[in-house]
Amino acid sequence: MTTASTAADDTPERYNAKEAEAKWQKLWDERGVFRASEDASRPKYYVLEMFPSPSGRIHMGHVRNYTLGDVVARYKRARGFNVLHPMGWDAFGLPAENAARDQGVHPAAWTYDNIANMRRELKGMGLSLDWDREIATCHPGYYQHQQALFLDFLEAGLVYRRKSMVNWDPVDHTVLANEQVIDGRGWRSGALVEKRELSQWFFKITAFSDDLLQALGPLERWPERVRLMQENWIGRSEGLRFDFDVEGRAERLPVFTTRPDTLFGASFVAVSPDHPLAKDVAKKSNAAADFIAECQRMGTSEAAIEQAEKRGHDTGLIATHPLLPGLRLPVYIANFVLMDYGTGAIFGCPAHDARDLEFARKYGLPVRPVVFPKDAGADFAIGDEPYTGDGVLTHSQFLDGLGVDAAKSAMIARMEETGRGERTVNFRLRDWGVSRQRYWGCPIPVIHCGTCGAVPVPRDQLPVVLPEDVTFDKPGNPLERHPTWKHVNCPKCGAKAVRETDTCDTFVDSSWYFARFCSPRADIPVVKSAVDYWLPVDQYIGGVEHAILHLLYSRFFMRAMHKTGHVKVDEPFAGLFTQGMVLHESYRAADGKWLYPEEVQLNADGSATQIEGGQPVTVGRREVMSKSKKNVVQPGAIIEEFGADTARWFVLSDSPPERDLEWTDSGIQGAWRFTNRLWRLVGALADVLPPAGTPAPGQMGDAAMALRRTVHKSIVQLTGDLESFRFNRAVARAYEFANALGDLKPGTPDANWALREGLETIVRLLAPMMPHLGEELWHKLGHSTLLAEMPWPEADAALAADDQVTIAVQVQGKLRATLVVAKDMPQKELEALALAEENVLRFMEGKPARKVIVVPNRIVNIVV
């Protein structure tokens, strides 16, 4: 990386960003410009970016995220909105515990150190934040209210405890998330992961399945993509639930199917290895027990599932077909049937389902098609592929001749009539397990008593504070082995009891922080008047990687908080913007080692060499910045070198914000060039400009008028760009605007006046994007007000409209000439002018015009 010039070069011709930025940040802070309070007389606007984890340093993704949010916040403020723009810390989580174990530092100390550092870095970006509202989720002042909400949800029946299967690492003594199991082994210990049944706390997100799905529709200011992902995740499917009789057993076996039309093609029944029937069978059969144990040992990773073949164990039981009493279906325990979807049991119709077909072929079960493709003959048979399309029902009694949809309805109706089943809706969404066997999280406020069971911690005993004297030298949960912390008396009966030692999933912390920001110091979770005023968040901005979990959990939390009387809205985020990632090329030395960008010299021909030693370097494709590939650029270093405004300008400039952005050295240099160009432009003209507020001279020359038109057109266009999140377009307009300003020669009173108007306007338009430079230039232009408190400039509509337009003239749809004419010239005149063009006549080849299409102010197309 070569750096030609930087903000540190303090020559009179260069903007000293470092000095200026510190000065304006201090002034904003002292005057409390960005402090927010409820004000019923003004429209409110709540802008929020996803809050960071205090990992240590901010990265370019943060710079992009918070710049986008800050542009919105500053712009809306200028438009007269009462803006709330807060910041906080998603501070609980595993990294702090890892640091504790590896570096011997307490998680709290590590976290608060990182917060202090990152707060300093964020302040250096000049963000228009209300720092008085700062919160950290690891602070008892925050998590005590989360504990109160937990108890509210518990009372409302939205929290419950049940046994569930988890991935258990027998070496580290902890539960692992699916993502932490690699090839069936713990990612850290390498131990074979076991499936274990543990008691876990769950949030009953499924209580809102239907609502969470239905309410996606009206979220018009959310990306379609995110809504679709949530829709798929919730996974609603309609079907039939009905019961099989099993020979020799009293209980019927309920199954769920979305293809009731294929019931006459059934050839087996299968239950999950975790199904009660399977467990029953295993009591008497070692073979069955062995099979179940084997299934449970199987990995849950994607790869493991993909490779796993369909396998089953024949229980010897027979289910009888509900409509064909003579048809006896073998009951299998099958590894591909999931306990927690539907009823944990299915009927298999191999002819019309891929999994069932694979299973049937393996165990020699009949494959009987009952849905025939439209043009199939009576001898239609299934080969290697099941037939899953529409068709005509065959060999299916009362369904014969029907299409698939009609047959589904008919079958459901028949089953409902006979009382054997019913139409059912099933969701893929499962309840949210929040128990984590970890220290650095919000303690779950429950006490376990031998006689009373799980007893909520009384409200007056909140918060349940994490003990500080814990050790991380052994695997497992430090809360579990703490000598005193968990030993308490039962709040109900007074007997000896133990605290819940599990803590909350950190996704719980981030599911309601946006509500807490409304009243961050209140002694209750949220103050009604505050949340009623501010919520929902008007514009939320963050990475698409949170499209499902965080955004879905937050939607659940709002509903739960609504139900428990805390808020009156269901949807937390009225508008959502998902930004792209920041990418960078990666560099590899001849020996295969990754190199940091600053170790590499980029050559004009596109090749690269190592600065030290001069060996050739392999330039890799651009990808997400990651420590392992060393393709990272530290925001701190960039801001130190060029200032925050230049960094902000660059991340806004190159790509549309929803798309990935490639960080390039030439790009940041270009942004730095522009920063200085503006600064010089104002500096060079400061002496000749008329004083601020001078009335316009009566006579305006053509050049001055042309600039005035650019000024007012720029206001209109750039405003539209900001409104629609097209910040790269706004940047391009600013360049055009600045080019026009540079082109007008000063000297005459009209030109000087137009230049003042232009410079003041560009400074105000750029202020949301480059706030420090804006203040600096505003001040240079003779103003003593703060630009951050100025209203948005207004365009003169007459000037913003063109008085001349360029008309394209086409012959047969091909461009043959252009006309510059007065705006709104009548169609007849345009047509006449077009037909008089030499080149147009040439391409008409003497033929008469058959048809002339005239679009006013745009185009004339002549068809011959």
Partner RNA sequence: GCCCGCUUGGCGAAAUGGUAGACGUAGCGGACUUAAAAUCCGUUUCCCGCAAGGGAGUGCCGGUUCAAGUCCGGCAGCGGGCACCA
Q: Which of residues 676-705 bind RNA (CB under 7 A)?
A: 676-677
Q: Both tokens of residue 50?
A: 């996803």
- Contact segment (CB under 7 A) with RNA among 525-533, 664-672, 701-709, 746-754 equals 664-672
Options 74, 76, 139, 310; binder of RNA; rule CB under 7 A: 310
- The span from the CA of 59 to the CA of 669, in Å, is 19
Stretch in the footprint of RNA (CB under 7 A) among 213-221, 231-239, 396-404, 470-478: 231-239
Question: Closer to RNA at the Cβ: 159 or 661?
Answer: 661
Nearer to RNA, 489 or 812 (CB): 812
Contact string (CB under 7 A) for RNA, positions 636-655, x = contact: -----------------xxx
> Residue 220 corresponds to which tokens in the numbers above?
């018009």
Give the helix/strand (H/E) hosting 83.
Answer: strand 82-84
Q: Which of 432, 554, 429 is nearest to 505 (CA)?
A: 432
Among 27, 293, 815, 836, binds RNA (CB under 7 A): 815
> In this chain, which stretch among 159-167, 542-550, 626-634, 707-715 interacts with RNA, using CB under 7 A?
542-550
Burial of 651 (0-12, 13-18, 19+ CB in 10 A): buried
Q: In 10 A of CB 687, how many CB atoms?
A: 7
- Position 567, amino acid: V
Of 160, 187, 341, 596, the one binding RNA (CB under 7 A) is 341
Q: Determine the Cα–Cα distance for residues 807 and 830; give it in Å rounded to an integer.
A: 9
847 lies in the binding site for RNA (CB under 7 A): no
Query: Which residues, in sequence order, are bridge partners of residue 193?
Result: none
Query: Judged by CB under 7 A, which of 814, 845, 846, 848 binds RNA?
Result: 814
Scanning 135-143, 480-488, 497-505, 851-859 for contacts with RNA by CB under 7 A, the matching segment is 851-859
CB of residue 246 to RNA, shortest distance in Å: 17
Q: Least distance (Å) from RNA to the CB of residue 516?
A: 27
In 3D space, the residue among 546, 545, 544 whose CA is nearest the CA of residue 579 turns out to be 544
Q: Tokens 């345009």 identify what position? A: 830
Q: Based on the shown chain and the rule CB under 7 A, indicate whether residue 229 belongs to the binding site for RNA.
A: yes
Please say which residue, 35 or 858, places its beta carbon nearer to RNA: 858
Under rule CB under 7 A, which residues in 199-228 are in contact with RNA?
A: 224-225, 228
Would you say 228 or 493 has its CB closer to RNA?
228
| Amino acid symbol at 402 | L
- Could you tell me where the DSSP H helices lie in 319-367? 354-363
By CB under 7 A, is residue 731 in contact with RNA? Answer: yes
Q: Specify the residue, 567 or 844, whose C-beta has the smaller distance to RNA.
A: 844
471 part of the interface to RNA, by CB under 7 A: no
Binding status of residue 717 toward RNA by CB under 7 A: no
Task: Return the DSSP state at 218.
Answer: T
| H helices, E strands: number in the chain | 27, 39
Closest CB 747 distance from RNA, rounded Å: 17
CB of 860 to RNA, least distance (A): 8
Distance of CA 270 to the CA centre of its chain: 38
What distances in angstroms separate CA 322 from CA 253, 418, 478, 523, 698, one per listed residue? 11, 10, 55, 60, 94
- Considering the complex, what minimum distance in angstroms separates the CB of residue 660 from RNA? 6
Measured distance CA(333)–CA(291) in Å, rounded: 8
Task: Considering the complex, state which of residue 247 and residue 302 has its C-beta at the smaller distance from RNA.
Answer: 302
The answer to the question of residue 831 lying near RNA (CB under 7 A) is no
Shortest distance (Å) from residue 715 CB to RNA:
17
Task: Please report, as residue ranges, which positions from 423 to 452 form the binding site for RNA (by CB under 7 A).
Answer: 426, 428
Cβ distance 784 to 73 under 8 Å? no
Measured in degrees and rounded to the nearest 5, phi and psi for residue 584 equal -155, 150
At closest approach, how far in Å is the CB of 372 from RNA? 20
| Partner residues linked to 159 by β-bridges | 203
Contacts (CB under 7 A) with RNA, residues 371-410: none
Answer yes or no whether residue 57 interacts with RNA by CB under 7 A: no
Q: Which stretch binds RNA (CB under 7 A): 33-41, 62-70, 167-175, 674-682?
A: 674-682
Tell me the number of residues near RNA by CB under 7 A. 85
Identity of residue 336: F
Q: Strands 135-136, 88-89: parallel, antiparallel or unpaired by DSSP?
A: parallel
Q: Assess whether the previous peptide bond of 273 is cis (omega < 30° from 0).
A: no
Q: Which is nearer to RNA, 116 or 177 (CB)?
A: 177
Binding-site member from 94, 165, 732, 849 for RNA (CB under 7 A): 732
Among 397, 489, 804, 806, binds RNA (CB under 7 A): 806
- Residue from 661, 704, 751, 777 touching RNA (CB under 7 A): that is 661
Comparing CB distances to RNA, the nearer of 498 and 805 is 805
Region binding RNA by CB under 7 A among candidate stretches 141-149, 212-220, 331-339, 759-767: 331-339
In degrees to the nearest 10, what's the CA dihedral of 435, 111, 561, 198? 0
**Could you say which DSSP state residue 611 is in?**
T
Question: How far is Cα 260 from Cα 702, in angstroms, rounded to an integer?
Answer: 78
Q: Is 563 in the site for RNA (CB under 7 A)?
A: no
Residues 13-42 that bind RNA (CB under 7 A): 13
601 binds RNA per the rule CB under 7 A: no
Q: Which residues ranging from 161 to 180 are in contact with RNA (CB under 7 A)?
A: none
Nearer to RNA, 260 or 774 (CB): 260
Residues 233-272 that bind RNA (CB under 7 A): 233, 235, 237, 239, 256-259, 272
Nearest to 468 by CA among 457, 478, 458: 478
Residues between 283 and 302 that touch RNA (CB under 7 A): 302
What is the rounded distance in angstroms from the CA atom of residue 615 to the CA atom of residue 502? Answer: 54
**Total Cβ atoms within 10 A of residue 325:** 9
Among 346, 504, 741, 770, contact with RNA (rule: CB under 7 A):
346
Q: Is 836 in the site for RNA (CB under 7 A)?
A: no
By C-beta, is 39 or 302 nearer to RNA?
302
131 binds RNA (CB under 7 A): no
Q: What are phi and psi of 836, to 5 degrees?
A: -95, -10
What minimum distance in Å lies between the beta carbon of 650 and RNA?
9
Q: What are phi and psi of 14, to 5 degrees?
A: -125, 140
- The contacts found for 304-309 with CB under 8 angstroms, 24 or more apart, are 304/183, 304/184, 308/335, 308/336, 309/358, 309/362
Separation CA 165–CA 473 (nearest Å): 28
Pairing outcome for strands 328-334 and 312-320: antiparallel
Per rule CB under 7 A, is residue 355 in the interface with RNA?
Answer: yes
673 binds RNA per the rule CB under 7 A? yes
Q: What is the distance between the alpha carbons of residues 537 and 514, in angstroms, rounded to a whole number? A: 8
CB nearer to RNA: pick between 98 and 728: 728
